[in-house]
Amino acid sequence: MTSKIPGADEFTSRPMPREELLRQISPALALHQVHDADVDALTYEVVRHRLWAITQEMGETLRRMSGSHVVTESNDFNFSICDELGEQVQVGTYNIGLIGSMDLAITWTLRHRSDNPGIAEGDMFLCNDPWIGGGLHQNDAAVLAPIFHDGKLFGWTTAIAHQVDLGGPRPGSFSPSAQDVFGEAVPTPPMKVVRGGVLQRDVADAWVRRSRLPHLVGLDLRAKIAANKNAAEQILRLIAKYGADTVKAVMHRMMDDAERRLRAKLETLPDGTWTAVGYQEQSQTGDRGLHAIKVAMTKEADRLVFDFRGTAGQAGIINCPYPGLRAGIVFTMLPLLAGDIPWAAGGLMRCFEIITDEDTITNASFPAAVGKGPFGPAWGSGNLVAEVLAKMLDAEPDHRTDVQSICNGTTDLCVVSGVDVRGGGSKGFVSPIFDVMAGGYGAQVYHDGVDTGGRLIIPSARAPDVEMTEYLYPLVALWRREQTDSGGPGRQRGGMSGSVCYVQHPDQTGTMSLVVSGTGKVANQNVGLAGGYPGNSQLDLVVRGVNEPQLAQAVAIPADLGELGGQIEVLPCEGESHLGPGDALYLHWQAGGGYGDPLLRAPESVREDVRQVRVSADAARDVYGVVLRSGEVDATATGELREKIRHRRASGAGLAGNRLAPIVAPGPRYARRLDDNLVVLDSGTVACVHCGTEIGPLEGGAFVAGLARRDSAPNEAGPHIWQDPLEYVDAEIVFRQLCCPGCLTAVNSRVVPVDHPLPVDDYRSWV
């Protein structure tokens, strides 16, 4: 671990009580504060909806002014409207992760900038410091804009977007071999970029000077300033119509209402503690380890506590500071737990607490490398939060419709850069491959996951138009398609992911640089629930020496990798490579996890999946146990095959020769449901809902020891699982299934290292 830098603690931000924050703000800064004000119901709704509309209009302003592919094509940005102390009143429906710590950035600005250089009307502050907040890594640049009314600070608006390049040793500002933050783009604490309504040219020049794409970074800076200015004008018009006290009262009531509604929902859910463990692979180039993230979520009455103690120490580039961890919780909670509650994030954040060790990959200390923060430990933490939330919701019948397996795991980062020489020009370019936005959604209790539906954490995410990509960059897409068998198998199937294959444009010469980062190539991030299998493993390849380089003499477009010819180079989780004129780049990103044992999926649904090419005939047979003849289900053969698969599970678990308990419906009478498969009888014994087998006592999670356990090769989870983990890590990886000892229905299915803990802790407090 790199030693800490003296004075670095000044540039960290944590939530603090309003009273304490007020004591740290310069007395010279007058604040508009309203504690009690009556607002009638009609006025409240009109003002509330207007504030929501303003955030959406901020998005349109930024998109229309920005020239960045990230913004215009993929919606990797967001906005918020905040009160005078930075609590978020309304957030946008774009990248939720980008507003998960925006209040922390404003808090820091109030504490450290209110005295010198001061916060005045017409000012705006620029920040990309992940330790301060407002973004998850240095590429996330925010503009924070105070709004003044009658000489008092009334509130804030914020605009933030991912910037394609902000300097550092590698194009795209992501360096897989960085040893610390000094090997990455420079983090910048809030600095005044607009003073009295005037863009400060020296600050703006210093900002764009760091980038390989200064014209795009400069345009995005101005677009964010314009979005904030437009929002401020509209908020001031709202104040002019209804009065400052009324608008501020509505803002506070919005947050109070969101808090009240979420607390009321939590009150209806069972108390308990649920745990989850996930992994980050390869901390940096050359590493072959797995690094664990651990969370224990305790729900008591109307409050949640997320305890990340025991998470691996900071290492390599797979780190995020505290604001990134908090953002991982927020971008998961909002869509999954607060999907039916207006997103007044300031109120929702009052309902949870974070406990974490220092100097870990989810709470890294300066100067740790944090370039992978958003799609590494922040997203990985969010996946685990989604998992424990689903376990809690699955135990309550009134909330099972909200249960969802993990969606698409994380992003598949591949940054392509070089010099575009098409048409005799010579223009540098840097671009992440954003086709990977089309991730698969996790399966739900009553529905399959949405195929290539986008990103849970970016509700408005979209994959770019392929023709736009080809127009902007010297690439030609051989295909972009949904990938058969990618969705996690289950009683409900996870949504499919896709793959894309690019070659250089025929007029392009020379080589392009590739920077790759993709967790989920070994221990799947997109896990299933209640016995559902994980979605596909991520896979990135370069095919060297394809048969028809750049399609120069091709008479047909290749349909798959087998038709490309050439030699396959497997790209690591963290590393660099290149793309030459005779090469092809292939990315296969992650799908959604399944829900429930795939042997319980209706055979006709499997038949339809095969007909729609969502599932291959081989997977239908080997994973789902469904036999198709001439495109129709052979019911007798299917029943026999499914029983054979259950016997194979029994044999692998050391129960060979045991007679299988018959699957019966409905299940036994019970006092409490745990999930799709397990119930608690009045006696306190856990039983299988499918066959009635009594497994063991709930107390202390003792029944887990009574489950049949089978460890097998990872590829037994299906053809969508990469078959050779040794390509990436040294740890032994297995497909682990825990099953009912009676009927051998899977209740837990994971691709994990062999020392992965059993889920005993999930049930210790359920007594």
Q: Contact at 8 Å (CB) between 51 and 343?
A: no
Neighbours of 611 (CB within 10 A): 11
Helix (H) / strand (E) element for 274: namely: strand 272-281
Q: How far apart are CA 475 and CA 511, in angstroms?
A: 12
SS3 628: strand
Among the residues of 32-122, which ranges form H helices? 41-65, 69-72, 102-113
Biggest CA–CA distance in the chain, Å, is: 82
The contacts of residue 404 (CB under 8 Å, 6+ apart) are 336, 386, 390, 441, 442, 443, 444, 449
Q: How many CA atoms lie within 13 A of 383 on its CB side?
A: 37
The contacts of residue 755 (CB under 8 Å, 6+ apart) are none
Q: How far apart are CA 515 and CA 171, in angstroms?
A: 8
Q: Give the pLDDT score at 125.
A: 98
Q: Give the pLDDT score at 635.
A: 97
Among the residues of 268-372, which ranges form H helices? 322-337, 345-348
Q: What Rg, from alpha-carbon coordinates, does the chain have? A: 26
Q: Contact at 8 Å (CB) between 492 and 448?
A: yes
Bridge partners for 5 per DSSP: none
Q: Give the pLDDT score at 37.
A: 77
Q: How many CA atoms lie within 13 A of 164 on its CB side?
A: 31
Percentages helix, strand, coil for the chain (3-state, rounded to 5) are 35, 25, 45
Q: How far apart are CA 630 and CA 215, in angstroms?
A: 59
Neighbours of 498 (CB within 10 A): 23
Q: Contact at 8 Å (CB) between 427 and 417?
A: no
Q: Which residue matches tokens 């390989």? A: 212
Q: Which two structure tokens, joined as six digits, stand for 280? A: 């980050």
Spatial CA neighbour of 302 closest among 258, 266, 272, 345: 266
Q: Give the pLDDT score at 1.
A: 39
SS3 469: helix
pLDDT single digits (tens) 571-609: 999 999 999 999 999 999 999 999 999 999 999 999 999
Q: Which two structure tokens, joined as six digits, stand for 400? A: 């099972």
Q: How far apart are CA 224 and CA 6, in angstroms?
A: 33
Bridge partners for 306 per DSSP: 297, 354
Q: How far apart are CA 652 and CA 708, in angstroms?
A: 9
The Cα-based distances of 339 to 82, 348, 611, 655 in angstroms read: 20, 12, 33, 44
What is the Cα 312 distance to its own chain's centre? 19
Question: pTM for the complete prediction?
Answer: 0.95
Helix (H) / strand (E) element for 205: namely: helix 201-209
In degrees rounded to 5, what are phi and psi of residue 702?
Answer: -65, -25
Q: Give the pLDDT score at 665.
A: 67
**Nearest 5 degrees, angle CA 335-CA 445-CA 745?**
135
Neighbours of 65 (CB within 10 A): 18
The contacts of residue 111 (CB under 8 Å, 6+ apart) are 21, 24, 25
Reply yes or no: is the peptide bond before residue 714 cis, omega within 30 of 0. no
Q: How far apart are CA 470 and CA 483, in angstroms?
A: 22
Q: Contact at 8 Å (CB) between 114 and 26?
A: yes
Q: Which two structure tokens, joined as six digits, stand for 651? A: 């044999």
Q: Give the pLDDT score at 73.
A: 86
pLDDT < 70 positions in the chain: 1-3, 665-668, 765-767
